[in-house]
Amino acid sequence: MPVNKYSFIRYRALDKCLRDYSHRYYISDLVDACNAALGSYNGASVSERQVRADMAFMQREAGGGAPIEKLMDGHRAYYRYSDPDYSILNLPMSQGEFNQLSSTIQMLGRFKGLPDNSWMEATLYRLQSTFNIDNTNPSWVRFSQNEELEGLRHFSRLFEAISKCIVLRIDYHKFGSDSWSREIHPYQLRQYNNRWFLVGYEENQSKGLPLVVLPLDRIDTIQECEDKEFKPFVGDIEKPFEDIVGVSLMFGVSRVHILIRAYRPTADYIKTKPIHHSQQIIDITDEYIDFSLDLIPNYEFETIMLTYADNCEILEPSTLREKISERAALIEKMQKNCISSKE
């Protein structure tokens, strides 16, 4: 019975009523039961017409061949299963559902290997054994993940702290410097460019930022602050990330309207893999494509533009063009120095 989530909620509500021989369920009662079940999910309502269509589907072979009978109580009809032992929950899995579950298990397998996630491997094994799913075939969907990435050992502990709203004392270091202690209220684990980051609020910081972002590979140790009250984030935590590329947040800075000209074939690559969700095409020629973006230009955006430097130019604003040109000149100078030192 391959169905979507909300239709299955209705079928399950109907199934519960039709199996109950202690009550008589008229069509209005069945509608109420479906609405009560759906209300706890999305507040949607269902009509009598929909309920009748659901029961008709349940009676067909594709819906499980439910033995629904219509009985008369005077001039009113009520409904139940003719077989009191029947339930749609006891139906065997169809081939389509079997294939979907098998594919899902293979996709869940990407999380195997994360530190302390042995529960996932055990769960996958139980599902494979229960449903006799062969998971030895080559994976049809593959996600990039560097299991040797430093800091991954903290992943599970940070995840638990986020879910339980625990304030953490984190010993953190920048590359080439000593570590120092930071008190963090953790809100989210975020991945960018195959690297994991912790997003949270930091107490006693001089800049008064509403959020800080810490790469996991710079975290040395983690301790729980049992005496600290957790401060939840107010609002949508995704909002600060909407105006940037990557994870380098910039507060108190306005978005900038940026125009870039990319020459082919780089232009086609940028077209099919937008730099930012605000990206729009302004002009197309055989030679180039002009794009506009509205964002806060941060380090990640500048780095992306540098990767396209040989086939892309910033038209506006001039200040951003000059800044990236300076970074490109510095990179070129460093490369020349490296070559000279080897000669």
Please tell me whether residues 277 and 309 are part of one structural domain. Answer: yes
Whether 1 and 94 have beta carbons less than 8 Å apart is answered as yes
Whether 170 and 221 have beta carbons less than 8 Å apart is answered as yes
Whether residue 9 lies inside any domain: the answer is yes
Give me the pLDDT at residue 167, please: 92
Whether residue 197 lies inside any domain: the answer is yes
CA atoms of 164 and 291, how far apart (whole Å): 44
Please tell me whether residues 84 and 117 are part of one structural domain. Answer: no
Please tell me whether residues 108 and 158 are part of one structural domain. Answer: no
Please tell me whether residues 107 and 80 are part of one structural domain. Answer: no
User: For the chain, what is the domain count?
Assistant: 4
Whether residue 143 lies inside any domain: the answer is no
CA atoms of 248 and 214, how far apart (whole Å): 10
Please tell me whether residues 123 and 191 are part of one structural domain. Answer: no
What values do phi and psi take at 183, rounded to 5? -95, 120
Give me the pLDDT at residue 146, please: 64
Please tell me whether residues 311 and 270 are part of one structural domain. Answer: yes
Please tell me whether residues 279 and 318 are part of one structural domain. Answer: yes
Provide the token pair at 318.
Answer: 């001039």
Nearest to 202 by CA among 217, 218, 220, 182: 182
Q: What is the CATH number of the domain that holds 26?
A: 1.10.10.10
Q: What is the CATH number of the domain that holds 313?
A: 3.30.70
Please tell me whether residues 79 and 112 are part of one structural domain. Answer: no
Whether residue 138 lies inside any domain: the answer is no
Whether residue 242 lies inside any domain: the answer is no
Give me the pLDDT at residue 193, please: 86
Please tell me whether residues 81 and 104 are part of one structural domain. Answer: no
CA atoms of 70 and 82, how far apart (whole Å): 9
Give me the pLDDT at residue 113, please: 46
Whether residue 240 lies inside any domain: the answer is no
Residue 179 CA to its chain's centroid (Å): 32
Give me the tens of pLDDT residue by residue for the chain, a chain 343 residues long. 445 667 888 888 999 999 999 999 999 999 999 998 887 665 567 889 999 999 999 898 878 889 999 999 999 999 999 998 898 877 666 656 666 666 665 665 555 445 555 555 556 556 655 555 555 555 555 666 666 667 777 888 888 889 889 999 999 888 777 778 889 999 999 988 888 899 999 887 757 788 999 998 888 889 998 888 899 888 888 998 999 999 998 888 899 999 999 999 999 999 999 999 999 999 999 999 999 999 999 999 999 988 888 889 999 999 988 888 888 778 777 766 666 665 5
Please tell me whether residues 186 and 118 are part of one structural domain. Answer: no
Give me the pLDDT at residue 341, please: 62
Whether residue 243 lies inside any domain: the answer is no
| 200, 234, 268 - which closes a domain | 234
Whether residue 264 lies inside any domain: the answer is yes
Residues 6+ apart with CB under 8 A from 63: 1, 11, 57
Query: Which residue is listed with tokens 């951003």?
Result: 320
Please tell me whether residues 81 and 102 are part of one structural domain. Answer: no
Please tell me whether residues 81 and 108 are part of one structural domain. Answer: no
Whether 270 and 307 have beta carbons less than 8 Å apart is answered as no
The pTM of the full predicted model, rounded to 2 decimals, is 0.61
Task: List the domain range (segments joined by +) for residue 105.
Answer: 95-131
Whether 295 and 301 have beta carbons less than 8 Å apart is answered as yes
